[in-house]
Structure 1
Amino acid sequence: MIAETICSAVSAAGLGIAAITAYRKRFLAATRIAAYSLVPVGLVMTGVVAWVSGIVFKPTVWAGFGLLALAWLLFMTTRAVERRSGTTREERKAARAASSETAVAPGSSSPALTSGNPAADTRPRGGARKKETAAGGEDFSDIEAILKKHGI
């Protein structure tokens, strides 16, 4: 009952301000103010105000909001712990994909290094690779590992 009275008073005050604004020959602003001032009365007439006031004054509703807040807090805590531990869902998927890529063929003792197409394999073989690394002066494998760890 008090909420409906407050909404009616706000609407009446808004319509009064709109009338003063229209008297000052600012008709566009007056129309906009009148539109805003009719919203509270419309909410009262549709029953939205009674529904909201019923929610605000029920302790069970506030207990429900408290449980929702607790659930949100638990979700955020688990995400923070997961980030700190470094094992995210994407990292686990990447580890599974990497382990499936280096599958060992039946009858061999090590994983296959080529895709089966010798023309597609452009990596240097054996000694040439070692010479190339020594000639380049730096080995970027540790940098690549760091970038992969951060998902870059």
Structure 2
Amino acid sequence: MLAETICSAVSAAGLGIAAVTAYRRRFLTATRIAAYALVPVALVLTGAVEWVAGMVFKPSVWIGVGLLGVAWLLLMATRAVERRTLGRPAKQKEPRGQKEPRAAGGRPARDAVAPDASAPSLGAGPRPGRAPERAAAPADDFSDIEAILKKHGI
């Protein structure tokens, strides 16, 4: 009974606000407010408010919610323990004759998709017979970004 009264009061207030908004000639906004204001009365008339109120005040429902919380905590705890103790995913069997090269730690080595993507495209790529150049220091990597930011006055 109390929930129905509160929903009716909220709807009446919303319809009043919609009327004031329409008076100010903001009809689209007034229509939207009126639509939202009718939702609480619709919920009362469909019985949804009574169903929710009956569900909220039942101890068995709260026991079920608590059990769902405990189940979620157990699942998250097992995932955290698994990550901490293993440090890597469980070993999977490899098909015969197709072994991936392994990096340090037993993980599969992964090649870059485009290893020369950051090199300029006009002949500055790696040349056969020469040792690859060392990577630039981290301060040099940000010099281009700093120049762009200075150019735009940031």
TM-score higher than 0.5: yes
Amino acid at match of 1:63: I
Amino acid at match of 2:78: T
Counting aligned pairs with the same residue, the percent is 62
1:148 deviation in Å? 1.4
CA distance in 1 between counterparts of 2:44 and 2:82 reads 47
1:56 deviation in Å? 0.8
Superposition pairs of residues 43-82 of structure 1, within 5 angstroms: 43-82=43-82
1:82 deviation in Å? 0.5
- Residue in 1 that maps onto 2:7: 7
1:146 deviation in Å? 3.5
- Residue in 2 that maps onto 1:145: 104
Q: TM-score with structure 2 length normalisation? A: 0.63
Superposition pairs of residues 1-152 of structure 1, within 5 angstroms: 1-86=1-86, 90-93=89-92, 96-97=93-94, 101=96, 144-146=103-105, 148=107
CA distance in 2 between counterparts of 1:82 and 1:101 reads 28
Name which one, 1 or 2, has greater alpha-carbon Rg: 1
Deviations 1:23-70 (Å, cap 9, x if unpaired)?
A: 111111111100000000011111111111111111110011000000
CA distance in 1 between counterparts of 2:49 and 2:19 reads 26
Q: Which runs of 4+ in 1 moved over 4 A?
A: none
Q: TM-score with structure 1 length normalisation? A: 0.63
Determine which structure has the larger helix proportion and give its number.
1
Q: Mark the runs of 5 or more structure 2 residues left unpaired by the alignment.
A: 111-154
Amino acid at match of 2:96: E
